[in-house]
Structure 1
Amino acid sequence: MSLMRNPRLFARLFNWVSEVSVETLFKPQLPGNPRSFATRRRVDAEVFGEKWSSRPRNEIRKLAQVAMFDYFYNNRGLQFLIAESMSENAPVFNDNLLKKLNCDADGDDDLVRSITRFLWFHPVNEFEPFLESLGLNPSEFSHLIPCDKMFLNEDAFLLDNYHVFWNYGIVREKMGKIFKEAREVFGYGTGVLASKIKACEDLGFSKLFLSKLIVCSPSILIGNTHVELAKVMEMLRRMGFGFDWVSENLSEEASYDWSSMHRCLNYLRAMCVDEDELRELIRERPRLIFDNSGEWTLVLAGFQTKLGSSRSEVSSLLLKLPLIQELRKCVSNLRHCFLFLKDIKMEADEIGEVFRSHSSWLAVSRLKQTSTFLNTLKGGKKRLCQVIQENPEEMKKWTMGIRVQPLPGTEVYIDSKAMKTAFLLELGYKENSEEMEKALKSFRGRGSELRERFNFLASLGFNEKDVKDMVKASPDILTQASDVLETKVNYLVNELGYPLSTLVAFPTCLKYTLHRMKLRFAMFSWLRARGKVDAKLAVSTILVYSDKTFATRFVNRHPDGLKHFEDLKKQRIDTQECSSSLYRIDTQQCK
């Protein structure tokens, strides 16, 4: 009945039915991929229900749109254009409605009547299709839907302000951005929004320019933001930039803070020598004020200033930046480079010197991680600092996408490697063998230190043959300083009572920290005193397991074991406590 009362709607439905021929509805499917066909049928069945899954989805959606329009226009009394937009431009809402309808359908083949009848008894939240029709996704407007309203007519001013924007030439798809960024604008009372727009027009803006400006920056309609806008436009006008130039550089996808742009323009004016230089800078680099409303320009300039750059150096840097490079990426690259130089212990004045002279290419280059340099360049932090100070442009070879080559060996490095090689030959390694290469990678520091530490180990009571066997089994024990080795040997031998032969059999124990040793042996002695572990456990069994595995295999054997283990971790295990009779190991049992 409602269709007959609305001739235009009936005509639209009649024209659509005329376009869909019998051959189209019942045309057999061409042979194709049966898997994709089955997938499509499953999707249609999920969305439209089994009853309608055999019909073309466009046909079902068009029928649903007709029913939605009939409901919003005739039953809810919404204006024609709004009802038409909500029915045709809210596909997610329509599909969700069809899913619900599948559960409540009474088997009637008339889909339009089924949807209409469903909406009569199941009113929907009209803000959902309305906001979706404005170009917003459900994830964007879900938090914008009023909690105390379901119908658009309950919002006294929403549709009035909608029509103000529409009559001003702002299309429906762009109103969603305004609603998302300046929700309160749609709540203005009668005449308030029109007066706000009129106040902006009084600044000399044309209707075409102002309509784009409202979409790009809806905040100009809130409070006194248009005052900051007027200041920016006046500064640009004095430099010879008109509304057309501003409109070309505005993006409707972005949002603008005119107070930030005003600060950026003031900074650029103070930085430049004269108006001609400022005009040339803005003409060549309009992104300086339009990208993120000039915030990244201020961050970049502040970063360079803190590193000691003068105003002329900052101005030169801004002119050298590529036109296509985003300022955000430039700031990120410079920050990453600064952290790298700081990480390799370069002095502050030396870092400033690098940035003052080379920021233009550092801003468009992304360096690799510090760990990559140290592993691939085969040079320590001190060596890297020296290379960069001699020629900062060496860092161009260390950027992302370029294979990093090792640094050429210095005379000190070559001598140190020769001493390491000679030392390994004395231990019985074969020259140029795979075992020697692995041992060389394990040794860190100067080659002369290896012989010193070897001799020091021998002085602790080991004979030379035993020390050779220990080093061949675990070469990296010599990467530790002599005093560290002495502390660990004294703890294991003199305090816990292990014989030297135990360390010869298991030299890897010297790689573990003294704290780990004290923690494990304290826990082992606590468990041994309660009869939960074998007193003859080897040193390797006590030390090699991770904390998690050690707790699973041993600590959990006692109900209070885990709590005691955690307490030991928190407190400092004193050496004197671990050498008492409670913690002392029976050397005869542990041989």
Structure 2
Amino acid sequence: MRGSSSRHHHHHHNHLLLPLLRLLSTGTTATPSLPKLKNICYRHRSRALKEARSALTEYLHSTRSLPFSFSDHIASNSPYSLSLLLSQVPSLSSSPPSLFPRLLRTHLSYRPVNEFDFLLESIGLSPTPPSPLGPFLSDHPLLLSSLSDLLRFGFPWTRLGLLYPSLHHAASSAILPKLHSFEALGFARLSVIALSLCFPSLLLLLPRHDATHRLLLRDLKAALVDHGLADSVVSDDVDAHLDVCRKIKLFYDLGSEVGTMGEVMGRNKKVFLQAEEGLIERRLKYFLNLGMGKAEVGRFLLANAELLLELDLDSPRFVMPEYLLRVGMGEADAAELVKKCPYAMGVNVLGNLPGTLRAMDVHGWFLERVVGDGGVRFLSAEFVSSSLSSAGDEAEDEYSAGVERLRAVRKQKHYYLDPKLEFLLGIGFGKNKTTSRIAGLINSTKDQLQERFDCLLEMGIEYPMLCRMINASPKLLNNCPESLHKKVNYLCNVLGYPLEYLNKFPSFLCFDLENRTKPRYRIINWLKEKGLLQKPFAPATVLANSEKRFITQLFSIHPAAPKQWLECFSSRYDSNGCQRNLFAHRPLGSSETES
């Protein structure tokens, strides 16, 4: 009976826990803006917050029987929840500050707070939406025991949010032994805290993860202990050690293989001690965008640590195709690229080189040159800038003239136009007249354009093909991702055309699906059903013609077809402003339709 009750309690606990774990798995820790304390005079708000912290500490410790250290940490590190509590005490508005302590104690006596909301905020997690685990921390003694053990071990209270989801999977009695086992391997206590916060799965103690954990610990021990990376961190602050561990984790997050990186990381302390995390991430992604394999990119960059730290992606400018000629491409191949990809020619910055090479589908060739002996010099500022030529200046002048024309004619402010130009240059278009022309035809922000571009890539369109499509039909980027999905789905799954057909007819994505594409194909399919259509029509033939020419085309199939189109299939609106029924099927009258 007791076992059944225990199982029921465990099941109920997990049921309550799932929504919270889903919330925490998103990784959001952003705290919303503090509630406005309109019920308290602005002169007394600071005093009110101070008194609220004291009252909450006393309430949690004396009334709710939490350890004083817990109560103090929770009350001192939850400004949002504390402000929300104050905003719900209307009597403060008409009372002098001297009465604040008594009013707050009375309020807490009759209106218990949701303690989990305060806890989550205090350990670094977002306090919204409200926790689904119930209002009282005392209902979760195993969690409190785990938090107490971590706090005694030396974990900073405000960083425990990084571990919080893992605490619900690990047995509280096993956390301290696990942490001490890390120390037995040679890790200093600060390193144990940092690696636990950065790699919470190390505390999960799940058998199926043992092999992965052993490999990860072997890497961490080789880097932090055997090669002295942890001893090289000059600060005794946990955050300094956590910063190093986050940089290590970044390599694994971007594809490095666990169990193979420890020694090479340990030999390159400078990267983890001096380079900013954002810089490391940008360098790793740079070579991933060049096409380097995920398992190789980390080792390659650490083997070229000076490049990782000193590579300037913002200032050096190259010009195509001169840059490729200097790298070693033959003149005939370069000339073919100029003819095939004119939109990628001209000047660009080194940071956009992966996009330019992918747009021309030569990134694999280039990567082989870079990975080869001495190839890293191709990315040096001196080598890159040596490709600049008068031809590049001419293309850039045409680009600048086109941009100025856009600003003058369309009155496009720089804060509307510049992000679109940055997007185009980022995906591989050079500074040339084509790029400035396209910028005038596309709408939306840089992030929205990038989202649409990535959406098409995820659907299976090859990078070079997509750039050719944008060059031919820039307005396809004016579709939101949902619209792009619907149009591609209609082309491939309804009309039965392969995705590659968009390379021939990218304008398919520019036409309105509901008001042009579907209505026209409804009458085409209806004519097929009636046996009146002798030959199939490709999408370019069906959609690219104007309404007048489409009607003429229908007339050539059957003299009564235009009337059928206008009355039953067209998406035009009637005289009352109501859209016609697109699904109506009226049979051809015998006197009108028989040939």
Task: Report the TM range for the smaller structure's normalisation.
Answer: 0.3 to 0.5
The TM-score, its normalising length taken from structure 1, stands at 0.46
What TM-score results when the alignment is normalised by the length of structure 2? 0.46
Higher alpha-carbon Rg: 1
Higher relative contact order (CA 8 A, sep 6+): 2
